[in-house]
Amino acid sequence: KLVRKLQLTGLHAAFAPHVYSSDLVTNGKPAPDLFLYAAGQIYARPENCVVIEDSVNGVKAARAAGMTAWGFVGGGHADAGLGERLLSAGAHRVFASHAQIAAALS
């Protein structure tokens, strides 16, 4: 399902073969399983990973995995209080645009 969505948007080639979904793990978010699985697939240590999330459960999962969690509130579904909820859930920072994230990663 996720692969098909990425294909439809033209993004699959940018991520393949590293496309992971909760279908691959026992427990979904807020459990850290998916993030730990993905890190393991690319031989990355959790403390060296940055997770960009737009959900409270995603931030909680990233933190439970021992990863840096950045909140994203630039999506059309983000309401006015999402940034505060992400910070309360443990996000280290919150960004309103992809450009801000790109600058922070530079």
Q: What is the pLDDT of residues 14-65, one digit of tens each?
A: 999 999 999 999 999 999 999 999 999 999 999 999 999 999 999 999 999 9
Q: What is the pLDDT of residues 59-105, one digit of tens each?
A: 999 999 999 999 999 998 999 999 999 999 999 999 999 999 999 99
Lookup result for tokens 């993905």: 38
- SS3 label, residue 3: helix
Q: What is the pTM of this model?
A: 0.90
Task: Report yes or no: 85 and 78 within 8 Å, Cβ to Cβ.
Answer: no
Backbone angles phi, psi at 50, to 5 degrees: -120, 125
Lookup result for tokens 């530079």: 106
Domains of the chain: 2-105 (3.40.50.1000)
